[in-house]
């Protein structure tokens, strides 16, 4: 499973920071972050909202463009070890200079340079999806969209939204998504992870996204499942994340049912060290629970490659 070529569409850059990396930076900078770690050294949180708090606390040690460059290198090399040949990482101007466009450009340059090095040294390709954070509200999302619009191009190819799906409605963020769309960026948003089917419908109707982050709770609404299948709306499914956060168990996870009904599903890790997962781990669990063989995983990787927010030549090379 480890060597199978994998295409990952849903990975939060800060959320992929290994605890050892964060502890190392904290020591260098004299930060006391001991409260966010359990005795075994892993991140410690209880439930989704505490996860978001610990996640944001961990980002406090990521202060300079150089820190983000080092993080990008670490994350991409780890992904490549698990056979990932292409990854789309959510990048957050909120944590990179507080949504100031000038500062953001410097962070982005460091991330992009590290991505180029990783392509040369580990053979992994990366694109950035700029992400606003839902619980920070629509005004900050507009500033984030401005950062995204100003840096849209070959590397920054998408715009999205993560954070607490319980806060506000998808449509509150329409201005930010419209701005991103007008600058040529492709769109996705977290929906149907904590929110039910209506959150997914709102994402499609009010934000006009072409992919959905998670989307798994569509399974509660057969008409919505049909719509996703008919319209070819790709779901960035992160089973290990859902299991770790207590939304499903491996056996009850709907990824196989959605796929059987014709919904284009893909597989990602979301925030791997927080959820004790890797792409290989995701594949192994799914192969065990659903009896999926290599052919299924190759097919899913092709679905992901076709849905990737990159240029045609890069996409074709992945297939």
Residues that bind Zn ion (CB under 5 A): 270
State which of residues 15, 65, 195, 215 lies at the interface with ligand ADE (CB under 6 A). 15
> Of all residues in this chain, which one has the CB nearest to Zn ion in the complex?
270
Smallest gap from residue 59 Cβ to ligand ADE (A): 11
Q: Does residue 42 sit in helix, strand or coil?
A: coil
The residue among 133 and 286 lying less far from Zn ion, judged by its C-beta, is 133
State which of residues 6, 8, 9, 12 lies at the interface with ligand ADE (CB under 6 A). 12
Which residues, 154 to 173, sit near ligand ADE by CB under 6 A? Answer: 162-163
Name, in order, each residue with C-beta under 8 angstroms of 291's C-beta and a sequence gap of 6 or more: none
Could you tell which of Zn ion, ligand ADE, none binds residue 193, using a CB distance below 5 to 8 A set by kind?
Answer: ligand ADE
Smallest gap from residue 122 Cβ to Zn ion (A): 23
State which of residues 157, 241, 268, 280 lies at the interface with ligand ADE (CB under 6 A). 241
Name, in order, each residue with C-beta under 8 angstroms of 102's C-beta and a sequence gap of 6 or more: none
Pick from 244, 197, 249, 247: which is nearest to 225 by CA? 197
Instruction: Judge whether 280 and 82 are in contact, CB under 8 Å.
Output: yes
The residue among 163 and 264 lying less far from Zn ion, judged by its C-beta, is 163
Smallest gap from residue 152 Cβ to ligand ADE (A): 22
Secondary structure element (H or E) that encloses residue 279, with its range: helix 279-290
Catalytic residue among 143, 193, 236, 282: 193
According to DSSP, residue 4 is labeled S
The residue among 132 and 286 lying less far from ligand ADE, judged by its C-beta, is 132
Instruction: Judge whether 170 and 178 are in contact, CB under 8 Å.
Output: no
CA–CA distance, 12 with 207 (Å, rounded to integer): 21
Instruction: Judge whether 246 and 47 are in contact, CB under 8 Å.
Output: yes
Could you tell which of ligand ADE, Zn ion, none binds residue 163, using a CB distance below 5 to 8 A set by kind?
Answer: ligand ADE
The residue among 65 and 273 lying less far from Zn ion, judged by its C-beta, is 273
The residue among 26 and 180 lying less far from Zn ion, judged by its C-beta, is 180
- CA geometry: angle 22, 84, 249, nearest 5 deg: 75
Smallest gap from residue 161 Cβ to ligand ADE (A): 8
Smallest gap from residue 290 Cβ to Zn ion (A): 22
Secondary structure element (H or E) that encloses residue 191, with its range: strand 186-191
Instruction: Judge whether 196 and 165 are in contact, CB under 8 Å.
Output: no
According to DSSP, residue 186 is labeled E
Annotated active-site residue 193? The verdict is yes
Contact flag: residue 193 with ligand ADE (CB under 6 A) = yes
Q: Which residues sit at the interface with ligand ADE, rule CB under 6 A?
A: 12, 15, 55, 162-163, 190, 193, 241, 270-271
- Known catalytic residues? 193
């Amino acid at each position: 499973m480890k060597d199978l070529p994998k295409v990952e569409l849903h990975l939060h850059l800060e959320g992929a920071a290994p605890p050892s990396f964060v502890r190392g930076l904290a020591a260098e900078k004299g930060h006391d972050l001991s409260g966010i770690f359990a005795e075994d050294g892993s991140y410690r949180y209880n439930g989704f909202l505490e996860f978001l708090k610990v996640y944001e606390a961990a980002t406090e040690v990521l202060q300079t463009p150089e820190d983000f460059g080092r993080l990008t290198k670490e994350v991409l090399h780890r992904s490549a070890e698990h056979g990932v040949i292409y990854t789309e990482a959510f990048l957050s101007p909120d944590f990179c200079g507080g949504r100031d466009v000038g500062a953001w450009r410097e962070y982005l340059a460091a991330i992009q340079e590290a991505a180029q090095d990783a392509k040369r040294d580990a053979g992994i390709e990366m694109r950035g999806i700029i992400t606003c954070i839902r619980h920070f509200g629509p005004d900050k999302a507009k500033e984030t969209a401005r950062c995204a619009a100003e840096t849209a191009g070959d590397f920054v190819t998408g715009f999205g939204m993560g954070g607490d799906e319980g806060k506000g409605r998808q449509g509150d963020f329409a201005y930010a998504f419209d701005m991103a769309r007008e600058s040529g960026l492709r769109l996705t948003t977290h929906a149907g992870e904590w929110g039910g089917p209506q959150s997914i419908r709102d994402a499609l109707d009010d934000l006009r996204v072409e992919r959905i982050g998670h989307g798994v709770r569509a399974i509660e609404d057969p008409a919505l499942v049909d719509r996703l299948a008919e319209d070819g709306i790709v779901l960035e499914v992160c089973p290990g994340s859902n299991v770790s956060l207590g939304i499903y168990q491996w056996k009850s996870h709907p990824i196989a049912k959605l796929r059987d009904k014709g919904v284009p599903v893909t597989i990602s890790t979301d925030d791997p060290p927080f959820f004790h997962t890797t792409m290989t781990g995701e594949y192994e669990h799914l192969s065990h629970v659903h009896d999926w063989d290599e052919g299924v995983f190759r097919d899913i990787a092709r679905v992901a490659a076709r849905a990737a927010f990159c240029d045609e030549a890069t996409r074709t090379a992945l297939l």
